[in-house]
Chain A
């Protein structure tokens, strides 16, 4: 996957917040699932949870939210980068990265007033992207809504 290590860290951090809010029971599996996701996202998506012939037999598979959150937040970061790049055409890419980070509550430092923020329309876009992607990945409607809300809640609205 063509994600930079900086983006990986960003996506991991913000996804952890989303998972902690929506599916805290997945925190023990967050680290290994994240590592597997970045190694081969497609392979992880195909893993439906088979049972061994000598295993318990019949224990239903659940839909892990962690890979969903990672996929969704990857798209969100891409969307935010595109939005900021459009408005800051002459800025270096490093500066855009910093601004993307600053759009999330968890990374806003003491100079928050200088950082970028999102409009309500942009936040609505983020919610739509998040919800639709989660639904594509077979997450139930209610849970997808919670995920979308958590994603939007992690971002900063302009005042």
Chain B
């Protein structure tokens, strides 16, 4: 039996211009990679030149000798003093390189700007471009002027290369002197295939509208400037000073240059598909683009050749014009690129800031972490935000955040290899090796992957909430901004702690685990010696850092504040697809996502928190009062660890209950409920102290701070994993109970 064939329904094209583009992502990754690579190469050149040809290996040996002469012992104190002397020796040697590095970076910037201004003029001259006037082709000029109005761009100067028979165009020139160049072949198309003529002209005008002309010429200029001011001098210094290390270093530098080259080409490729999509919003242009583009080349064309290409494949261009869905995706490769670029930039920016402000080592790592965090959020985070919109609009699954986290982790590992740190900065014996390194990496990368996966899930949740809240606005940019800033702060704080721990990998071997174990045993904490010790110490160190950090406390509250804040705009909220900016083509049919999202419920979550506080009070106050009446030492024990344990248990219970019961963003609601409970509990706990010990209790040093730290910081470390597990379990149970074949549920 066969029913009527289902009508094929073409989905409305989603508007990729409402979101940051792949061109932006590739551009900023390139800038980060160039900045990091240039600083790295300039540091190496300056070190080699200013040290009079002394290699890093020789410098390390000299500093090791100096430190060992003063502190030859193997106790913890001796090894710590050894490291201080060694670091001072290395710092003295590199302190003078700062002006050279700054000069090199300034040279890169100046050369880039000069080339950016020169390249368009040189191109115009080489191609013999001449003004296209009404004397040459009045109809063509009139059409171009009309197309400018249609495309919404200020009229550029039109020039042409009448001898070039290709059907092509070119947008170029600095902002004050924008030009559109047409070939002779294209001009003749005005009479033979006017839609094809309009397609190319609109494509070039779209470059102006998309604002990618400057990006394109900047990436070309920066690439040449990088070769001239960083790579060239470095290769020269390598040949003069470090011939023994040529192969290992040369391979890394070649890989670094390849990365920059690939990112440059990715920027150039990406902007072409966006220009096609922009042009295709006019009638007849999509079909004309299809005619103009060459036949798809051999499908055996390898992925690598496509990566090296400066133009996207015709197949991709055709596909994206039909449906721009690929422009909403963010995948493993872009995350990998972000990881590599960030890993190259992070240590080098940190090194330069550290050299510039030698007294504030923390400041340098915070600045570097903030830059890296912003890069990751700006590329992968906003990519996930964009993908989340597409998933919301089409009722599809949210982006696979674990894959992005895996790409980021792999990129970080690769970036570290490329950053030359293995050959340049770390003396022999400092680096963890063997099983100790393996265990440390399992812990560190586990924290990175787990943390970034959860972070991106959180970003997706924020996106779903904010995009709905902003659906009635003219543009979602405010939502992007509100999503970007707190996300950058959250990730930067997390990454800063992680990178802080990363130093164990590089220098953990300087103080052997046996020495640490011995010191701990003598201090009354006997620990067995083993390869696990470095990883365990790092983990313990991280927990202590987080539990005592006010910054972590403030940042952690953003985890519930940001995704729940759109509840305040709930009256203006609407499905994201109903927004004026959601679709590319005016008047396109809006297909609603198959299942509306559940509402945010901060009110019930707050009530649950208050109820938890009430439960705590109902137990705490009578117990405290009873113990005070008995006047036993037990009161001090209750007001100390007793209250804390009870408070944390109540908060954990509230979090698990709220996470299990809330259908949407369960873990976020749970954190909010736990926060409300924590505040209530802290107040009640302090009140119990005042009631039993009198107002002087508040003057006990550290008591209020300890209360806040316990019920907000420490509790976050307990409630967060519990809430996540409870929310995941509840979601799984709901999934089992849902109707088979129903639409997937967005988080």
- Which A residues lie at the B interface, using CB under 8 A? 23-26, 28-29, 32-33, 36, 44, 47-64
Q: Given A47-B165, A51-B168, A59-B166, output 15 extra A-B contacts at Cβ < 8 Å.
A: A33-B162, A50-B164, A50-B166, A54-B172, A56-B272, A57-B168, A57-B312, A58-B293, A58-B311, A58-B314, A58-B317, A59-B169, A59-B292, A60-B167, A60-B292
Tell me the bound Cα distance from A23 to B168 in angstroms: 19
With a CB–CB cut-off of 8 A, which chain A residues contact B217? 54
Tell me the bound Cα distance from A62 to B136 in angstroms: 19
The reply to whether B272 and A25 contact each other, CB–CB distance below 8 Å, is no
The reply to whether B185 and A49 contact each other, CB–CB distance below 8 Å, is yes
B187 on interface, CB distance cutoff 8 Å: yes
B216 on interface, CB distance cutoff 8 Å: yes
What are 24 contact pairs spanning A and B, CB under 8 A? Answer: A25-B189, A25-B190, A25-B191, A29-B162, A33-B162, A36-B163, A49-B165, A50-B164, A52-B127, A52-B168, A54-B170, A56-B200, A58-B293, A58-B294, A58-B311, A59-B166, A59-B167, A59-B169, A59-B183, A59-B186, A61-B164, A62-B166, A62-B185, A62-B189
The reply to whether A52 and B188 contact each other, CB–CB distance below 8 Å, is no
Tell me the bound Cα distance from A48 to B163 in angstroms: 10
The reply to whether B168 and A28 contact each other, CB–CB distance below 8 Å, is no
Of the candidates A24, A57, A61, which one forms a contact with B165 in the assembled complex, judged by CB atoms under 8 Å apart? A61
A44-B163 in contact given A24-B191, A29-B184, A59-B186 (Cβ < 8 Å): yes
Tell me the bound Cα distance from A49 to B127 in angstroms: 11
For B136, B162, B312, B314, the residue with the greatest tally of chain A CB atoms inside 10 Å of its CB is B162
B140 on interface, CB distance cutoff 8 Å: yes
Tell me the bound Cα distance from A122 to B268 in angstroms: 56
- What is the minimal beta-carbon distance from B53 to any residue of chain A, in angstroms? 40
Tell me the bound Cα distance from A48 to B185 in angstroms: 11
The reply to whether A58 and B292 contact each other, CB–CB distance below 8 Å, is yes
With a CB–CB cut-off of 8 A, which chain A residues contact B171? 54
Within 151-179 of B, Cβ neighbours of A (below 8 Å) are at 162-172
B203 on interface, CB distance cutoff 8 Å: yes
B2 on interface, CB distance cutoff 8 Å: no
The reply to whether A48 and B165 contact each other, CB–CB distance below 8 Å, is yes
- What is the minimal beta-carbon distance from A20 to any residue of chain B, in angstroms? 12
B137 on interface, CB distance cutoff 8 Å: yes
With a CB–CB cut-off of 8 A, which chain A residues contact B310? 53, 57
With a CB–CB cut-off of 8 A, which chain A residues contact B187? 28-29
- What is the minimal beta-carbon distance from B124 to any residue of chain A, in angstroms? 11
Closest Cβ neighbor of A36 among chain B residues: B163
With a CB–CB cut-off of 8 A, which chain A residues contact B172? 54
For B184, B192, B203, B268, the residue with the greatest tally of chain A CB atoms inside 10 Å of its CB is B184
The reply to whether A54 and B294 contact each other, CB–CB distance below 8 Å, is no
With a CB–CB cut-off of 8 A, which chain B residues contact A57? 168, 272, 310-312
The reply to whether A28 and B292 contact each other, CB–CB distance below 8 Å, is no
- What is the minimal beta-carbon distance from B151 to any residue of chain A, in angstroms? 15
A55-B165 in contact given A28-B187, A29-B188 (Cβ < 8 Å): no
- What is the minimal beta-carbon distance from A28 to any residue of chain B, in angstroms? 4
The reply to whether A63 and B168 contact each other, CB–CB distance below 8 Å, is no
Closest Cβ neighbor of A63 among chain B residues: B165
- What is the minimal beta-carbon distance from A46 to any residue of chain B, in angstroms? 11
The reply to whether A64 and B170 contact each other, CB–CB distance below 8 Å, is no
- What is the minimal beta-carbon distance from B444 to any residue of chain A, in angstroms? 41
B220 on interface, CB distance cutoff 8 Å: yes
The reply to whether B191 and A49 contact each other, CB–CB distance below 8 Å, is no
For A28, A32, A33, A64, the residue with the greatest tally of chain B CB atoms inside 10 Å of its CB is A28
With a CB–CB cut-off of 8 A, which chain B residues contact A55? 168-170
The reply to whether A25 and B168 contact each other, CB–CB distance below 8 Å, is no
A61-B188 in contact given A49-B183, A53-B268, A56-B203 (Cβ < 8 Å): no
With a CB–CB cut-off of 8 A, which chain A residues contact B93? none
The reply to whether A56 and B164 contact each other, CB–CB distance below 8 Å, is no
With a CB–CB cut-off of 8 A, which chain A residues contact B503? none
The reply to whether B165 and A52 contact each other, CB–CB distance below 8 Å, is no
For A24, A54, A56, A61, the residue with the greatest tally of chain B CB atoms inside 10 Å of its CB is A56
Tell me the bound Cα distance from A33 to B294 in angstroms: 26
B123 on interface, CB distance cutoff 8 Å: yes
- What is the minimal beta-carbon distance from A153 to any residue of chain B, in angstroms? 22
Chain B 101-133 per-residue mask, 1 if CB under 8 angstroms from chain A, else 0: 000000000000000000000010001001000
Within 292-309 of B, Cβ neighbours of A (below 8 Å) are at 292-294
The reply to whether A28 and B188 contact each other, CB–CB distance below 8 Å, is yes
B204 on interface, CB distance cutoff 8 Å: yes
Tell me the bound Cα distance from A49 to B162 in angstroms: 10
Tell me the bound Cα distance from A44 to B186 in angstroms: 17
- What is the minimal beta-carbon distance from B173 to any residue of chain A, in angstroms? 11
Tell me the bound Cα distance from A59 to B127 in angstroms: 17
Tell me the bound Cα distance from A144 to B224 in angstroms: 46
Closest Cβ neighbor of A28 among chain B residues: B137
The reply to whether B188 and A26 contact each other, CB–CB distance below 8 Å, is yes
- What is the minimal beta-carbon distance from A16 to any residue of chain B, in angstroms? 15
The reply to whether A62 and B170 contact each other, CB–CB distance below 8 Å, is no
Closest Cβ neighbor of B292 among chain A residues: A59
Closest Cβ neighbor of A25 among chain B residues: B191
With a CB–CB cut-off of 8 A, which chain A residues contact B183? 49, 59
Tell me the bound Cα distance from A32 to B162 in angstroms: 6
Tell me the bound Cα distance from A56 to B186 in angstroms: 11
With a CB–CB cut-off of 8 A, which chain B residues contact A24? 191
Tell me the bound Cα distance from A29 to B204 in angstroms: 21
- What is the minimal beta-carbon distance from A128 to any residue of chain B, in angstroms? 26
A47-B163 in contact given A24-B191, A56-B204 (Cβ < 8 Å): yes
Of the candidates A25, A49, A52, which one forms a contact with B170 in the assembled complex, judged by CB atoms under 8 Å apart? A52
With a CB–CB cut-off of 8 A, which chain B residues contact A63? 165
Chain B 186-213 per-residue mask, 1 if CB under 8 angstroms from chain A, else 0: 1111111000000010011000000000
Closest Cβ neighbor of A57 among chain B residues: B311
A56-B163 in contact given A29-B188, A62-B185 (Cβ < 8 Å): no
With a CB–CB cut-off of 8 A, which chain A residues contact B185? 49, 59, 61-62, 64
With a CB–CB cut-off of 8 A, which chain B residues contact A56? 167-170, 200, 203-204, 272, 292
With a CB–CB cut-off of 8 A, which chain A residues contact B127? 52
The reply to whether A64 and B216 contact each other, CB–CB distance below 8 Å, is no
Smallest CB-CB A-B distances: 7 pairs: A25-B191, A49-B166, A59-B167, A57-B311, A28-B137, A32-B162, A49-B165
With a CB–CB cut-off of 8 A, which chain B residues contact A50? 164, 166
Of the candidates B200, B268, B312, which one forms a contact with A54 in the assembled complex, judged by CB atoms under 8 Å apart? B268
The reply to whether A49 and B314 contact each other, CB–CB distance below 8 Å, is no
Tell me the bound Cα distance from A60 to B199 in angstroms: 13
Of the candidates A28, A32, A51, A54, which one forms a contact with B166 in the assembled complex, judged by CB atoms under 8 Å apart? A51
For B168, B189, B192, B220, the residue with the greatest tally of chain A CB atoms inside 10 Å of its CB is B168
Tell me the bound Cα distance from A112 to B44 in angstroms: 86
Tell me the bound Cα distance from A63 to B165 in angstroms: 7
The reply to whether A28 and B268 contact each other, CB–CB distance below 8 Å, is no
A33-B164 in contact given A25-B191, A56-B204 (Cβ < 8 Å): no
- What is the minimal beta-carbon distance from A19 to any residue of chain B, in angstroms? 11
- What is the minimal beta-carbon distance from A38 to any residue of chain B, in angstroms? 13
Tell me the bound Cα distance from A6 to B293 in angstroms: 43
Closest Cβ neighbor of B191 among chain A residues: A25
With a CB–CB cut-off of 8 A, which chain A residues contact B200? 56, 59
Chain B 268-291 per-residue mask, 1 if CB under 8 angstroms from chain A, else 0: 100010000000000000000000
Tell me the bound Cα distance from A79 to B137 in angstroms: 34
The reply to whether A54 and B165 contact each other, CB–CB distance below 8 Å, is no
Closest Cβ neighbor of B136 among chain A residues: A28
Tell me the bound Cα distance from A11 to B203 in angstroms: 38
Tell me the bound Cα distance from A48 to B167 in angstroms: 11
Tell me the bound Cα distance from A49 to B137 in angstroms: 20
With a CB–CB cut-off of 8 A, which chain B residues contact A49? 164-166, 168, 183, 185
Within 654-698 of B, Cβ neighbours of A (below 8 Å) are at none
Tell me the bound Cα distance from A58 to B220 in angstroms: 20
Tell me the bound Cα distance from A110 to B272 in angstroms: 59
With a CB–CB cut-off of 8 A, which chain B residues contact A48? 165
With a CB–CB cut-off of 8 A, which chain A residues contact B268? 53-54
Tell me the bound Cα distance from A61 to B163 in angstroms: 11
The reply to whether B136 and A54 contact each other, CB–CB distance below 8 Å, is no
